[in-house]
Amino acid sequence: MAGFVLIDGYNLLNVTGIVARGVGPGTLERARSALLNFLAASMEPEAAARTTVVFDAAERLPGLPRELEHGGLKVLFAAGYADADTLIEELIRAHSAPRRLTVVSSDHRIQQAARRRKARAVDSDVWYAELLARRRSARDDAAATSDRPQVPLLKEEVESWLRQFGGEQGVAEWVQKAMDDQAPAEAGHGTPPEPPIGGAPDKPSGAEADSLANPFPEGYGEDLLDNGF
């Protein structure tokens, strides 16, 4: 069963090495946003929706709400509390499923509060390393999937089509006929056959047209023969 994550925001920020460019007002805000962007990009949407990040309110920009959503993450500012630790302890005490809760902080006070309720307490640097490992694994899996050759049909599907065309000999004859029919047009010369007396025949329609339609993409039969089927 999926669990919940409660993160001591600035404690985690200190171990990630995320540093905002420049100095002065707004520097910490940019670093905080960079951390949240990283977390949102590194977690599945379902996991992000079960994650709460808590920051001290002292550095909160004027007008910024106490609670907001960032990339699916729930973000809280400890306005009205002495510090973020106090709010985190309250959240741990109020959690309805503490055994499914992971508390991310290197602060011993917060870790003790988590263990009292049988929650998992993890140092920020350890949890950050775990997150990086999962992110790297997901990236490697995606790369392996994109490099995998595309197989248009399973062997059983190919055999089914072969039976419908009368076996390998039937496919060979169909391919040869298709190549013969295309040869004059591809060559770009030659005299086109004259239409029969009385004008061109009417185009088939309805069920007759469906029965004459080619169900395969161009070159399909050649691929079958090349693959040894």
Question: What is the per-residue DSSP string for 40-87?
Answer: HHHS-HHHHHTEEEEE-STTPPTT--SEEEETTEEEEE-TTSSSHHHH
* Residue 125 and residue 15 in one domain: yes
Asked if residue 229 and residue 175 are part of one domain, the reply reads yes
40 part of a folded domain: yes
Same-domain pairing of 28 and 106: yes
Domain of residue 75, residue span = 4-145
Q: How many domains is the chain built from?
A: 2
* Judgement on whether residues 37 and 137 belong to the same structural domain of the protein: yes
User: Domain for residue 167, yes or no?
Assistant: yes
Q: How far apart are CA 210 and CA 200, in angstroms?
A: 20
d(CA 84, CA 6): 12
Question: Residues 17-33, buried b or exposed e (16+ Cβ, 10 A)?
Answer: ebeeeeeeeeebeebbe
Q: pLDDT class for 211, splitting at 50, 70, 90?
A: very low
Q: Specify if 137 maps to a domain.
A: yes
The answer to whether 92 and 119 are in contact (CB under 8 A) is yes
Residue 170 and residue 101 in one domain:
no
Is 202 part of a structural domain of the chain? Answer: no
One domain, residues 182 and 111: no
Q: 170 and 119 in one domain?
A: no
The per-residue pLDDT for 224 is: 44
Under the banding of pLDDT at 50, 70 and 90, the label for residue 229 is very low
pLDDT above 60: residue 96: yes
pLDDT digits (tens, 9 = 90+) for 22-60: 555 578 888 999 999 999 999 999 999 999 999 998 766
Read off the CATH number of the domain in which 25 is found.
3.40.50
Same domain? 130 vs 181? no
